[in-house]
Amino acid sequence: MSSPKVIFGFHAVGVRIKTAPQSVIEVLFDASRRDARMRQFVTRAQEAGVRLIEADGLRLAKLSGSHGHQGVAARVQPIAQTRSLDELLEDLEAAGTMPLLLVLDGVTDPHNLGACLRVADGAGVHAVVAPKDHAAGINATVAKVASGAAETVPYFMVTNLARTLNELKERNIWCVGTSDDAPGTLYQSDFRRPLALVLGAEGEGMRQLTRKTCDELVRIPMAGAVESLNVSVASGVCLYEAMRQRSSG
């Protein structure tokens, strides 16, 4: 069995208690917090039957490796990824569901990854894909920033991103990359199809091979002085444009 890991923050711990209470070994909480949010959290944890332990802020900070724990941390067993990316796509095809994927190339900052997972969950993304090298993995900081989305959005780290994009294209999934120098904007592109949106790290952008592998490149129009958006903000802009187009038929 994999070693236990630590998650922290109301959203991350709360979602784990709600979705997989059997995986929660114990929940530590700051008993000196007596506000409504903490009371509600403790009540939900008790109703779920998880083990509750009182702890002070120093112990929580040491356990979580962060002072942003909000008075809540948990030791949990990792939840095994039950499906591969191929299996997930086959299930979507069998259900007649049009895939929507977010591909992140070179996003190494855990705060950015957490924010991307959160917006992916909100936009109904079926999975987030990243390379195993030069990318952030799921850790406690990612889970905290993702506000529970690290538990709900499948995150696949692949050995060769360009090869994976080619495999997606073989499944008739249109791969759209974002680039500041693309000729057209995302608002001129048709996202009402099986779609993988590909974004690179802020500053460097996509790697050259990733860029060449995309079917299409689009840009986010920028009307102000700054030249680019944070990758999580850019993900939100692109994903919600796809969501808007799909909901309007």
Domain ranges, ordered by start, for the chain = 5-76, 85-247
Q: Tens of pLDDT along the chain (249 residues)? A: 467 889 999 988 998 898 889 999 999 999 899 899 999 999 999 999 999 999 998 999 999 887 789 999 999 988 766 679 999 999 999 999 999 999 999 999 999 999 999 999 999 999 999 999 889 888 888 888 887 788 889 999 999 999 999 999 999 999 999 999 999 999 999 999 999 999 998 777 899 999 999 999 999 999 988 878 899 999 999 999 999 999 986
Q: How far apart are CA 150 and CA 204, in angstroms?
A: 25
Residue 134 CB contacts under 8 Å (≥ 6 apart), including other chains: 106, 108
pLDDT of residue 233: 96
The top-level CATH class assigned to 85-247 is alpha beta
> In a 3-state reduction of DSSP, which class is residue 230?
coil
The pair phi, psi for residue 200, each rounded to 5°, is: -100, 175
Instruction: Give the residue among 10, 243, 206, 224 at the shortest CA–CA distance from 119.
Output: 243
* Helix intervals (H) in 184-230: 208-213
Q: How far apart are CA 97 and CA 86, in angstroms?
A: 14
Beta strands in 106-154 (DSSP E): 127-131
pLDDT of residue 5: 87
| Fold (topology level) of 5-76 | 60s Ribosomal Protein L30; Chain: A; (3.30.1330)
